Structure 1
Amino acid sequence: MKDIQITRRRFVQASSAAAALALMGTGGCGMKGSDRAVKIVVVGGGAAGLGMSARLVRLLKNAQITLIDPAERQFYQPGFTLIGSGVYRNPNKVWRRQADCIPEGVKWVKQAVTELDPAKNTVTVAGGAVYPYDFLVLTPGIQCNWEAIEGLSYKTLGEGNVHSIYDFEGAQKTWKAVQAFVEKGGRGVFADTYTKHKCGGAPKKICLLTEHLSRKRGMRDSLKFDFFTASKQLYDVPLFTPRLEQIYKERSVSINTRMRIKGVDTAAKKVHFIRTETIKREVPDPQTLGAVKAVDEVVTTPVVEEYDFLHLAPPQSAPDFVRQAGLGWTEGSLAAEAWVMVDKGTLVHKKFANIVSLGDVAGIPTSKTSAAVRKQIPVAVRNLIALIEGREPEAIYDGYAACPIVTDYGHVLMAEFDYDKKPKISFPLSLLDMSRERRIAWFLKVYVLKPLYFYGMIPGYW
């Protein structure tokens, strides 16, 4: 055991050293800035907004940069899964004071945005103050729509043993409930949601971690685990899907696809789903007399499932002010939740060329993860500077995203991929077969990524 501890310590030290080296020479070094006097408003102070602000303030010598965000605290949200599973026993380790995260030289307006007017180039905040801009960085993140699930609201989260790690307080309640569920036994139902949502792997992670906890505590035989997804398959990245499905099978966790959560009866402990299926149906062909043709027909069936413990992901969308400003997609799969209509390569708005948008709110066909944001930031910075200088944006984001799917207490299936769902494995992990869960990826997830977030990513160095 002592040898293992030494190995762990050396791993963390080596990873930290490698990370420190990676920080050098980044954050705008080698990137040409601009001396033009412009007003830039950054809406949203999460990973994308802070990372953009930090780099821009170093590169734009005469710019006035205003960041608008009402938050008191900056959360490392990937840590919520680790709080909900008991890996992080001190939840206060996943946040910092927002005031300590605002880059020097950036004006912080601690208010919520109430209105965007892209035609007038203005942002209005609660209280009525109006902030004009020459260029807008739109990074407000995601809005969790808890009330879109019948019988549920943010305030009632936890009642009827309904829990979610998509919230700081909710993650803490989840850990308490997970322990009680494992001790008592029963049926655990774990569900994702029908909208695009941040960290699509999170519902899968908490399911597998809870299952593994039951084994560690010798209670597995008294519990049943069922996973419900609104998608047509458990995961959609070919390199990693087979192993993930195999893990679920090995651990006797059922996979139920095309199941969209509709509502919860917390008193009766019943969750209501809508099963969606597409079938072929023959109809008369208007082009040919007496002929028929096959058409797709969507059939929905209500399904009710009983549970003892329920974990769910809330439906998610762009904030209301984004939709109201007409900045979201108006057609296609990204329109319903009003994700911002940007070019998926340049991250520049397709209608308003003085707006760049990135992070969870961006309407692009990739996963909404902090790893994706990290790769989007330098692209958005380069292209914004090009726009300021009157040039065409040329930097291209390839859709890189990463999802560390925690499969048990000690292993992670590190999924890295691009827009085409092709693997984009980072060095030195590329030296290994990453189609399987790895212990080294667990150490990255648990020990390395959080400090890199606070000391590398949001200050604009990584």
Structure 2
Amino acid sequence: MMKHELEKQLEELEKKGIDRRNFFKLLAAAGILTTFGTEKVKAFSSNAKGKIVIIGGGAAGISMAARLLSWLDEPDITLIDPSDRQFYQPGFTLIASGVYQPDEVWKNQEDCMPKGVKWIKDSVAGVDPVWNQITTVNNGKIPYDFLVLTPGLQINWEKVEGITHDTLGVGNANSIYDFEGAQKTWKALQEFAKTGGRGLYTDTYTKHKCGGAPKKICLLTDDYTRKQDTRDKVKLDYFTASHELYDIPYFTKRLLEIYDERNIPINLNVRLKGVDTATKQAHFEKIEKKGDEKIVTPFVKDYDFLHFTPPMSAPDFVRESGLGWTEGKLAAEAWVMVDKNTLVHQKYSNIVSLGDVAGIPTSKTSAAIRKQVPIAAKNLISLMEGKEPAEKYNGYAACPIVTDYGHVLLCEFDYDKNPDISFPFTMIDTSKEQWLAWLLKVYMLKPMYFYGMLNGYA
């Protein structure tokens, strides 16, 4: 199956005039080929015992299950997740820009579930971390000795006034943070390129998955309209709730240059308050500080095409179970209170948490999860053995910001916001957009996700 998927990707490359022999050389240099046709790396073996329950069957949960199955001699793993399908969510941007077809980004969840895991297809209503038990919606209470908390995050659509999940696409208000929403975005983007008008793009004031996504769809709209020879018919504006476009200095300079070259104004310290889909008006608040005083200035913008990023948080049960931060910048959205290095809960030492729900100061991306999984798994096994967790996560995350159809600004960084570049990209200038990064993004990361990462490959 893995070879079949890789062959399909190579055929797509050849259609675009890219020689597969040269592409294989690039893959070999990147160390990517080692994820195909290899056995799982058995880093070590442990005879530690205990009932492990994993909440969440996304990238983090299934990858953790696969690793633990490989490393424990007698694993006892239960995974709770209600999903029918496993989505490769980084592909939503590529659906919304016409690069992927919708059926290319998902597989049946049962086909992704590691053999040897007991899968309870249910939702979690609460966790009692004192009595070590989970309450499910349909299967009652489930006890655990050790808990892996990986439920992903909650998208709070209703916190944008006038918007619900069911209204996505209505009044041309679109969002790629949803499978159906990404498909509607592509349809709307094509029509917008024909008719022209004003396009508005927003991020949000909370931490959110794939912080680069709103930037990507904005830049892809610009490039798509240029390819259709209609760029002069559209005006694009980008609104960010932050005080800067991007907070990783090594990459920010080029990103600012791109927006300037494309004639896309950047509006800082602006939140999207609501959307009137009937009149196609976006309601904003500009928030400024003068000393200790906060000044809020509301304003309204007409639009013809809107892409917005909804506020996000930890799932409600995380907050209600007392597992989230209660103070500091991560408290408002109740992100899980874990040590940023060990990924162990700071109050309950038999809980580890990683992925989007984790309250750590780095981006919420699948690349970050890939680095977190072996650290969290090894530290969990140490706890099961009665030892202190010794593995440390440095905050690595990657955000491939697609700048046009053919180039990606591959942003890799750590907790200190310093570049943390992977080989072979160390040999090129990653402070600028690169064709090689586009090949990685479009052709290789998806099969690596489904056939490498989810299967516990190193």
Aligning the two structures, in what range does the TM-score lie when normalised by the shorter sequence? over 0.9
Contact 1:195/1:315 (<8 A) preserved? yes
Give the distance between the partners of 1:167 and 1:60, measured in 2 at CA: 36
Please say if 1:94 is aligned against 2:105.
yes
Q: Return closer, same or farther for 1:335/1:3 CA change in 2, 3 Å cut-off.
A: closer
Tell me which moved more, 124-133 or 94-103.
124-133
From 17, 42, 54, the counterpart of 2:66: 54
The runs of 5 or more residues in structure 2 that have no matched partner are: 1-12
1:63 is aligned to 75
From 206, 209, 234, the counterpart of 1:195: 206
Give the distance between the partners of 2:16 and 2:217, measured in 1 at CA: 26
Amino acid at match of 2:287: T
2:189 is aligned to 178
Please say if 1:75 is aligned against 2:98.
no
1:129 is aligned to 140
Contact 2:49/2:384 (<8 A) preserved? no
Alignment of 1:112-151 (within 5 A): 112-151=123-162
TM-superposed deviation, 1:37: 2.6
Alignment of 1:287-366 (within 5 A): 296-366=292-362
Alignment of 1:184-333 (within 5 A): 184-280=195-291, 296-333=292-329
2:430 is aligned to 434
Q: After TM superposition, what 4+ stretches of structure 1 lie above 2 angstroms from structure 2?
A: 2-18, 22-31
Tell me which moved more, 22-31 or 394-403.
22-31
2:7 is aligned to none
Q: Could you tell me the TM-score, scaled by structure 1's length?
A: 0.94
Q: Return closer, same or farther for 1:226/1:26 CA change in 2, 3 Å cut-off.
A: farther
Q: Return closer, same or farther for 1:11/1:47 CA change in 2, 3 Å cut-off.
A: farther
TM-superposed deviation, 1:10: 3.3
Contact 2:42/2:70 (<8 A) preserved? no
Q: Return closer, same or farther for 1:142/1:95 CA change in 2, 3 Å cut-off.
A: same
Give the distance between the partners of 1:362 and 1:157, measured in 2 at CA: 27
Give the distance between the partners of 1:123 and 1:430, measured in 2 at CA: 45
SS in 2 for 1:458: helix
Question: Would you say how many aligned residue pairs link Structure 1 and Structure 2?
Answer: 444
Contact 1:38/1:62 (<8 A) preserved? no
From 34, 37, 51, the counterpart of 1:21: 34
Contact 1:402/1:417 (<8 A) preserved? yes
Give the distance between the partners of 2:15 and 2:71, measured in 1 at CA: 45
TM-superposed deviation, 1:298: 1.6
Give the distance between the partners of 1:26 and 1:242, measured in 2 at CA: 41
Contact 1:188/1:226 (<8 A) preserved? yes
Percentage identity across paired residues of the two chains: 61
| Higher Rg of the two aligned structures | 1
RMSD between superposed Cα atoms in Å: 1.6
The runs of 5 or more residues in structure 1 that have no matched partner are: 281-295
Give the distance between the partners of 1:275 and 1:173, measured in 2 at CA: 29
Give the distance between the partners of 1:357 and 1:46, measured in 2 at CA: 13
Deviations 1:170-214 (A, max 9, x none): 000000000000100000000011100000000000000001111
SS in 1 for 2:446: helix
From 19, 30, 47, the counterpart of 2:43: 30
